[in-house]
Amino acid sequence: MMSELRIEREAMEAGALRLRLEGVLDGGGAYLLRDRITSLAQPVVVDFSRLERLSDFGLGILGMAICELDLDVQLVGLGNHAQRILRAFGIAAAA
């Protein structure tokens, strides 16, 4: 099944890369995003502000991946509910 998640790359200052998410971040999309982040050898900013829908399950998968793989990731554009879920995984830098 094709994921409804689209990931747009944008170079930032200091060698970081912004990944702008559009569409739907569900379980399949979270695995796709995890794989994309782990393939990069640079700091990543993931921008959730353009998503149409964000599932708790997808957010949980992403939260586990960030913690387990010790990824250099900043998460921006999240609502309060999503921030609470990520704090449960020990990710305090989500905004």
Domain with residue 19: its CATH number is 3.30.750.24
pLDDT tens sequence across 7-53: 999 999 888 999 999 999 999 999 999 999 999 988 999 999 999 99
Residue with tokens 């387990």: 68
* 93 assigned to some structural domain: no
**Contact indicator for 75, 48 with CB cutoff of 8 Å:** yes
CB atoms closer than 10 angstroms to residue 20? 18
Helix axes 80-88, 56-69, angle to 10 degrees: 40
78-95: per-residue pLDDT in tens? 999 999 999 988 887 666
State how far the Cα of 44 lies from the Cα of 37, in Å rounded to an integer: 7
Dist. CA 25–CA 50, nearest whole Å:
11
**Structural domain range at position 43:** 5-88
Count of domains for the chain: 1
Whether residue 49 lies inside any domain: the answer is yes
